[in-house]
Chains A and B, each alone.
Chain A
C-alpha cells in the first residue's frame, strides 16, 4: 500500500504557502509585547507615555482591557496582562503597535516598568525538601493533588524479597517550532477576527472569548498553515493581545513572537521529580509506590490535568497487583505548564522503564524478559481499572527483542544496545464534526482543521473517506474553512485527527452512501467508483452515475451532503481506587517498542546514536508514508529530550538558554538512520481500527537511549537529559569496580 503524494508538497517546495509569520494586510501595523524585566515581583508602576511619545504609536496595559472590550468581564484568573504582580519571567505587562516593527520594538523598550522584586520559587524540591506530607495537599504552592491506590502497599513491600527505591529527575523541554507564534488581528465593528498559526482554531476562539469576556459568536478565527505546533500552538497565546491592539489602533495588527520570546513565553513540559518503590517476590512485581512532584509553573486554572494524567505513565504498561500513586502539581515562578508532544510521557517512560530495568538487574533477571512477563495484555485492566482493548505492545516487544539480539552480534567495544517501551492513549478531546459533499466528480470533506504538517488532515482524513466509499484518493479533497462556517472540531493534537475527526468523516461517508443507496432503491452494500470522468454508485454489478441521484438543488448547490460527528469513547476509571483528585481516562491503548544502538565515549561522556528501530502498534495503516514520517520525526524529537535538550532556569528565575545555540535541537548529523515497522492487527477505536501515531513515537525514546547507554558502559542514570557531563561523571563513579552490571553475561 502506498500513500498519495502530499497535496501540499509542490506548494511548500516553492515557498508558496502562507504561515502565520507571512500574514499581511495593506494597512496593518506591527505589534510588540512589553515583557516584565524582572522575573517576579510587585508592579509599582507602568508608564506608557514614553512609548506614546513616539509618532503613531499606540500602547495598552492592563487598565485598557475593560474599555477595549466594552466593559465585558474576562476570566479573572487569566488576565492578558500581569495585574498587580509579575509571577513569571518575561510575563507580558503591556503591548504596543506602530507602523513599523522597528518603531514598535523601540516603543516597547521605552515603556517604563517599575517592579519591586521578590525572590522566585523555581525548585520544587527546595519547596518540599522532605517531600510533601498529607497537609501539603492544601498548601498554596500546590495547584493540584491526586492520589489513588489498590491493596495494601506497605504490607506487600514488607513481605517482598527485594525492594528497589530510587528518585528520578527530568528536565523541562520546549516545543521549539521553527515558526514562532504569529497572528494578524482585526476588529470590524462587533466582530473580533484573527488569522493565526494554530493547531486549534476553535480552541483559540473559545480561549479568546473567555479571556476577553466576549461572546464566542463574535470571535472569528481562521487558521493559517502552521510551521510546527507540537502541542505549543493548541491554545491561545498571542491572539488576545493582537485583538486588543487592533481595537485600539483601529486597524489590523500583526503580532509575532521573536524567536527569543518564543523560548521565554513558551508553555511546555517543566521539571519532574519522581520517587518510586517496587517490591519483588519470586521474580514478580508485587507492589509499587510512585510519588510525583510536577512543576506546573504559573499553573493556569483548568489545566491541572497534568498530574493525574502523568501518573499512569509512571507505572508503565505493566501489571501491578498492589499500588499507590500520589502526585503534586507544584506552582513555581515559571511560565504556565503546557502540553508538549505526548506531554510528560517521554520523561515518565524514561522513569518507568529505567526503574524497571534497574529492578530486573537488581534481582539478576534479564530486563527484556522481565518486561515481557509483566506487560499488559488485551482483556486485562490497568491499575486504575480501565479495560485494555486490542494491544500490540507484546508483539512489538518481541519484534524489538529479535532486532536487539541481531544488533548485539558482533557489537564493537564501547557500543551498547537497549530497548525501551512506551504506551499512549489517543486523546479524542472534546470531539469533532465533519461534512462530506459529493458531486459528479469529486468528494469534498468540509472541516475546520488546518494541515499542521503530519498529513493527518490532508491525507489521513481523505484516506478514511476513500476507504469507506471506494473512491480513489485523487477524487477526494479536504477543504478548510474558518470557525465562522466550518463544523466544530477540538483541534489537531493528542494524536486524535484520524481517530476522532476521522470517525466523524467516516460516519458522514456512511450516511452519504446509505442515502444514495436509498435513492437508487438498493438495499445491498454500495460503493462509489470512477467510470471515465464520472463518479458512479455501484451495487454489485449495477452502476448509476451519481449526478442522476442528485436533486436539482444539490446539483446547483455543489452536491449531496452528509454530516458526521464523534465525541469520544468511554472507558471508565474505577472510582473506588481514587482517593483524591482526578485522573485521565485513557480511551484507546497503543504501544511502541524501540531499539537503539549507541556508542559512548567514556572519557567525554558523549553519546552517538548509531542506529534506531521503532516498532509501533498502529492498528490499521491508512497513510503509510505519513505514519512513517511521524515515527521518524517523533524519534528525532525524543533524541533531543534524551540527550541534548534542557530548559535551564537560573537561580534568579530567568530562563538561561532562550536560544538555539544553548537549547540544543537535534541536527541532520546527529539523527541516525531510523527503521520504522508498523504493526497492524490490534485494532483501535479509529476508523477501520486505526490508532493515532503523532505522539507515540516520542514516548519510548529517552528510555531506549538510557537502556542502550547502560548496556554500553554499565551506568544507571536517573536524570534527563543524558548529557555528556552526566554520563562521564557516572562512568567515572563506577571505576574501578565496573558497577552493578559489570559481571553480567553479554
Chain B
C-alpha cells in the first residue's frame, strides 16, 4: 500500500499537465477538500495522488458593474462575510449560510461544490436562479457555459479529462432574490427541499428553481411564468405560482421527505421566498 502523494502545482498549466499524465480515478483534485476527505474517509475514493489547487490565483472574488466573479477556490466564508453580498445577491448569501458551519465554510468553495454536483447542494438552485455561468480551463484552453448545462445530473458534470472549474460568474446583480429551505435544525443540516427565486431586471422576468430533490436542482419555467413579468407580483399571482411549483414532477419521495410533504413545502417556501425577495411580510410564525 503506497502512501498517497500530494502535489501543489504553482500554475494552471502545471496543474493540467499533472492531471493529464494520470489515469482517471488515480488522481483527485483538492479545492477546499471538505467533500473529498469525506470520500477518502469512507473509502469511496482511493486515489494515489492528490493535486492541490492552493497555489493557483483563484482564491478571490470581484464585483463589477454588472455582477460577481468568484474564483473556484475562494472559501465560502470570505464571500459570506463580504457585506456587499447580502445587499446585491441575498439569495446567494442565504444559500452559502446554509452550508455546514462557519468552520466548514472556511474551507468549502463554490468551485468545489459545483464540481461535486451533490444532489442536495444548496448552492446549485441559487446559481440556476441567478443564471450563473462557469468558466472551465483544461488542455484545450478555456470555455464558458451556463451552470444549468454544466451540472448534468447527480455527481456528473461537463468537466472533461484534466479540466477544472476556474471561476463562476453571476452576470447580473439581483437584489430581489431569496433562497429558503426546509431545515430541521439551524446548522449542519441537509435540505429536504429548497426554493430559490430571483427577479432579473435585465430579462424582465423571474427565475425560480427547486433544490434538495435528487437528482439535481431544476429551474421551473412554469412557476416563473406564473409570477409574470412584474417586479412585484400580486398576492394572487404568487399563490398561483406557488401552486404551480407544488406540482413540479421532480418532487418525489426519498428517505428525507415524502412527495406529499415536499409538495406542501414547495408551495409554502415559494410564496414566502417571493414575498421576502420583494420586501413583503411573509406571515410566518417562527
Contact = CB atoms under 8 A, between A and B. Distances in A.
B185 A667 contact: yes
B1 A644 contact: no
B209 to A, nearest CB: 19
Given A109-B43, A414-B285, A599-B286, A604 B182 contact: yes
Contacts of B284: 601
A669 interface: yes
B64 to A, nearest CB: 36
Interface stretch (A326-334, A467-475, A521-529, A722-730): A722-730
A729 B286 contact: no
Given A103-B1, A725-B257, A728-B264, A644 B286 contact: no
Contacts of A412: 285
A603 B242 CA distance: 13
A660 B185 contact: no
Contacts of A724: 182, 184, 261
B1 A667 contact: no
A141 interface: no
Contact of B1 (A106, A648, A668): A106
Nearest to B3: A102
A417 to B, nearest CB: 15
A599 B285 contact: yes
B182 A606 contact: yes
Contact of B264 (A102, A603, A643, A650): A603
B286 A608 contact: yes
Interface stretch (B55-63, B131-139, B186-194): B186-194
B255 interface: yes
B285 A648 contact: no
Nearest to B186: A669
Interface in A708-734: 723-725, 728-729, 732
Contacts of A660: 188
Interface in A586-619: 599-606, 608
B44 interface: no
Contact of B188 (A414, A599, A608, A667): A667
Contacts of A260: 42
Interface in B21-39: none
B147 interface: no
A725 B43 contact: no
Interface string A103-146: 10110010000000000000000000000000000000000000
Interface residues of A, number: 41
A289 interface: no
A37 interface: no
A365 interface: no
A656 interface: yes
A251 interface: no
Interface in A644-678: 644, 648, 650, 656-657, 660-662, 664, 666-670
Contacts of A664: 184-185, 189
Contacts of B142: none
Interface in B266-286: 267-269, 284-286
Contact of A656 (B188, B255, B261, B265): B255
Interface in B1-21: 1
B258 interface: yes
Interface string A71-109: 000000000000000000000000000000011011001
Contacts of A723: 184
Contacts, number: 73
Given A415-B285, A664-B184, A670-B186, A728 B1 contact: no
A16 interface: no
A66 interface: no
Given A729-B260, A729-B261, A669 B285 contact: no
B256 interface: yes
Nearest to B193: A604
B186 A667 contact: yes
Given A414-B285, A648-B255, A669 B187 contact: yes
A413 interface: yes
A369 interface: no
A260 B41 CA distance: 11
A670 B268 contact: no
A579 interface: no
A105 B41 CA distance: 10
Given A662-B190, A662-B256, A728-B261, A644 B285 contact: no
Interface in B159-217: 182-190
Contacts of A668: 187
B285 A601 contact: yes
Contacts of A662: 190, 255-256
Interface in B41-79: 42-43
Interface in B221-241: none
A373 interface: no
A410 to B, nearest CB: 15
A54 interface: yes
B140 to A, nearest CB: 37
Contacts of A102: 1
Contacts of B267: 603
Contacts of B264: 603-604, 728, 732
B190 A661 contact: yes
A601 B286 contact: yes
Interface of A: 54, 102-103, 105-106, 109, 260, 412-415, 599-606, 608, 643-644, 648, 650, 656-657, 660-662, 664, 666-670, 723-725, 728-729, 732
7 closest A-B pairs by CB = A414-B285, A669-B186, A603-B268, A725-B261, A608-B286, A667-B187, A599-B285
Given A414-B285, A656-B255, A723-B184, 15 more contacts: A103-B1, A601-B286, A602-B285, A604-B182, A606-B183, A606-B286, A608-B286, A650-B255, A657-B255, A662-B190, A667-B187, A668-B187, A670-B185, A725-B258, A729-B260
23 contacts: A103-B1, A260-B42, A413-B285, A414-B285, A415-B285, A601-B284, A602-B285, A603-B264, A604-B268, A604-B269, A606-B182, A606-B183, A643-B184, A650-B255, A657-B255, A662-B190, A662-B256, A664-B189, A666-B185, A667-B188, A670-B185, A725-B257, A728-B264
